[in-house]
Amino acid sequence: MSTTTVRPRIALTLGDPAGVGPELAAKLLARPLTLESAEVYVLADAAELAEAARIAGVEIPLSDSPKPGFAVLLDDNSYPSEPIPAQQVSVEAGTRTMHQLTRALALANEGKVDAIVFTPLNKTSLKLAGMNHEDELRWFAEELGATGVTSELNVLAGITTARVTSHIPLSEVARHIKAPAVTDALVLLNETLKGAGLASPRIGVCALNPHGGENGNFGREEIDEIAPGVEAGVALGIDAKGPFPSDTIFAAKRHEFDGILTMYHDQGQIAMKLIGFDAGVTIQGGLPVAIATPAHGTAFDIVGKGIANTGATEHAFDLAVGIASRQAAARA
């Protein structure tokens, strides 16, 4: 149970309807802690939520108004007349996903919820449905009117990662590694860790090239861009060190840091998913409202079997509740 007097208000969407998202959401809602720790507003139609509960083998307590132990279903009777195909990408799945996320973002803009949690999305379906942004984070930022630095942050117990670049081709990464971008990402990671309750976060920074560039023999990004970006962050009062070779920072040094700044998506994601695949969470950093999701995908191969692991979904929800609670306490 949250220690705050007022429970935070969380909007929950079912993610991509062709994947395991609805099942995960149903299992989350059946967990007693979920409905005790927050006011949960479920953006779904009654029929699709009932089907998710059937697959998950759970019962979901619902109420017309928020009260401990019950969720509130915000059914707008918008489910399409034709079933959305399961276990595959489609414009229908992407359209449904965006519809409910748009509703959640509107609630945030109206000040009616304090955080948003969504179960896994499928980027191809979102693209088919018209999301032409680099990723959903950039779309969230546009919808919320956020104009500052944004970055996906990935969270496991004891370690959080952020990225200088994210959903771009690997062939384009090097030209985007610039000192100001490194500093901006450091500032965002540092502020996020402070918001999570760490007074003086310790941050390690990854190199881009093999062996950290070997003093320029394997590339100069470490010398010309990353190190100056770290130095600028230190000048701002951030406890940052690096760059360190990425093949050693996670294996040998991660326990020395509260956060690790990576240069590109898989540099951090491979390590984090090896460390804790069933517990990893993605936080959409730099937005005016906390948005969290499990870090894994839609798992088309196990859809409908009722066996999807809820560990990362529960962790995402609990993190969102914690962030929203701390933000409310800070405002008070």
171: CB partners within 8 A, 6+ apart: none
Give the integer Cα–Cα distance in Å for 190 and 199: 10
DSSP conformation class of 323: H
Matching CATH topology for 1-149+279-332 and 158-277?
yes
Distances (CA, A) of 45 to 73, 152, 223, 226: 8, 29, 54, 48
Which pair of structure tokens corresponds to residue 331?
A: 């405002």
Give the integer Cα–Cα distance in Å for 321 and 157: 16
What 3-state DSSP class applies to 260?
Answer: strand
Residue pLDDT, tens place only, 186-196: 999 999 999 88
Which pair of structure tokens corresponds to residue 31?
A: 């967990």
| Confidence at residue 29, expressed as pLDDT on a 0 to 100 scale | 98
- What percent of the chain has pLDDT above 90? 85
CB atoms within 10 A of CB 131: 20
- Find where tokens 């942050």 sit: 153
pLDDT band at 148 (very low <50, low <70, confident <90, very high): confident
Fold for 1-149+279-332, please state it.
Isopropylmalate Dehydrogenase (3.40.718)
- Find where tokens 């971008």 sit: 181
DSSP letters for 17-79: TTTTHHHHHHHHHHSHHHHHHSEEEEES-HHHHHHHHHHHT----B-SS-BTTBBEE---S--
Mean pLDDT value of segment 146-168: 91
Strand 115-118 relative to strand 290-294: parallel, antiparallel, unpaired?
A: parallel
CATH superfamily, with its number, for domain 158-277: Isopropylmalate Dehydrogenase (3.40.718.10)
**Confidence check: pLDDT of 32 > 60:** yes
- Is the peptide bond between 243 and the residue preceding it cis, with omega within 30 degrees of 0? yes
Residue pLDDT, tens place only, 202-259: 999 999 999 999 999 999 999 999 999 999 999 999 999 999 999 899 988 889 999 9
36: CB partners within 8 A, 6+ apart: 1, 68, 69
Give the integer Cα–Cα distance in Å for 85 and 64: 30
**Confidence check: pLDDT of 3 > 70:** no
Strand 281-285 relative to strand 259-262: parallel, antiparallel, unpaired?
A: unpaired
| Confidence at residue 332, expressed as pLDDT on a 0 to 100 scale | 67
Mean pLDDT value of segment 290-317: 96
What is the pTM (predicted TM-score) of this model?
Answer: 0.88
**Confidence check: pLDDT of 327 > 60:** yes
By the 8 A CB rule, do 54 and 160 touch?
Answer: no
Give the integer Cα–Cα distance in Å for 116 and 317: 9
pLDDT band at 4 (very low <50, low <70, confident <90, very high): very low
Give the integer Cα–Cα distance in Å for 261 and 187: 10
In whole angstroms, what separates CA 296 from the centre of its chain? 10
Residue pLDDT, tens place only, 311-320: 999 999 999 9
- The beta strand positions in the chain, using DSSP E, are 9-13, 39-43, 72-73, 115-118, 151-156, 159-163, 202-206, 239-244, 259-262, 281-285, 290-294
Domain boundaries, the chain: 1-149+279-332, 158-277
Give the integer Cα–Cα distance in Å for 212 and 223: 9
Mean pLDDT value of segment 56-62: 97
* DSSP3 helix / strand / coil % (the chain, rounded to 5): 45, 15, 40
Residue pLDDT, tens place only, 164-214: 999 899 999 999 999 999 999 999 999 999 988 899 999 999 999 999 999
- What percent of the chain has pLDDT above 70? 98
- Taking phi over 0 as left and psi of -120 to 50 as alpha, with beta for the rest, 244 belongs to beta
